[in-house]
Each structure stands twice: as structure tokens, then as C-alpha cells.
Structure 1
């Protein structure tokens, strides 16, 4: 079951009946030395570092899916004020956090 997710503070045409709390999902990913080799070569010739772009996209999707699962476990009908955040955990690894306000709709 998929629930509506928006970066806005409301769902058009729907009214928030109750704020449940924060729904969140996070993932920590580390770089892999094989990717680093390809990225270093790409850095020499310029252009997008596809290896890292794919790693970040996969991480965002996983964090987003975990947030949806958390929201559903809270009994939410929707998530408003959705955001992504990233932070470095240690050299070579980062956390991707997906979060928003889990709500019940009328």
C-alpha cells in the first residue's frame, strides 16, 4: 500500500485530521574501492561520476522505502513536509535520511 508523500505542508483537497509524528528511514553506505578506482579515473577526464551517482540514488530509494514502512507502522495515511538529508559518518561513508511528518487524513 502506497501513501501520498509531499514536500508541501498539506495534501491538496485533503485535510489533516491528526499529526502522528516523524516518519523516518535511513541508510548508511560506504564507498567501495572498485568504485573509487573508476571514480578517480573519471575525475581525471571530467564528467559525472556515475558510480557515486548510482550509489546515492540507491541509498535515497532505500531510505525513502524505509520511511514509508515506518509511516505505515505508525498508521499514517500520508507524509507531509518530506525531506532528504545527508551526513558524513566517517571517511568514505555517508548516511542518507528520509523524513517527514506522518499524518492521518480526514
Structure 2
């Protein structure tokens, strides 16, 4: 399965557009991380625990998008986009989406 952020896959022709493929996940912070990251927020620097949390969420959203595309019998997903938003106190959603296509 290929993912690209462009409208086409380089060197390949799109045979058929199958629709939107998407995958999302909602992740929440935990109390232990909040304490350590609050201290880091005071002293400055990267909040690594939160960076890792969002990185894991992006990977999971992309995996779920791939599963959705495979269920449509897609060869690739073009115009892939990632977005995140706050859902509740301490919770964040990450969604990956794009257009599922078959290739020649």
C-alpha cells in the first residue's frame, strides 16, 4: 500500500477512484506524564512524552487508514492528510485521510 500527499503516485496511473479512506484514534494523557511534563514545561524544552504520544497516535491513524483502504481493495491512497484536535480535557484525536485508488 502506497501513501502519498500528492494527487498522483509518481510513475503510476490512477485507474479508479474508490472513495475516502480514513483512520482515526483518540489518545489521552496520563497523570504520571502530566506531572513530569509540567515540570518540563516550567524549565523549558521539548515535552517528549507528549511528542511520543502524538507520534504513536499518528502511526495508529495511518495504520487504520491503510486497513480502510485495503477493505476498498485500493492499491494506494493519494492526497493523504493528517489532522489533530482536542476532544476533551487531556484527550486528542488524530485522523488520517485521503483518496483510495487503484493503479495501473
Same fold (TM over 0.5): yes
Question: Is there any run of 5+ residues in structure 1 with no aligned partner, and where?
Answer: none
Q: Which residue among 86, 90, 95 is the counterpart of 1:92?
A: 90
The residue that corresponds to 1:68 in the other structure is 66
Q: TM-score, normalised by structure 1?
A: 0.96
SS, match of residue 34 in structure 1: helix
Corresponding position: 1:49 with 2:47: yes
Give the CA deviation at 1:44: 1.0
Q: How does 1:1-106 map to 2 (within 5 A)?
A: 3-106=1-104
Distance 1:48 1:89 in 2: 23
Aligned length: 104
Give the CA deviation at 1:85: 0.6
Give the CA deviation at 1:51: 0.7
SS, match of residue 21 in structure 1: strand
Distance 1:32 1:62 in 2: 18
Root mean square deviation, CA, Å: 0.6
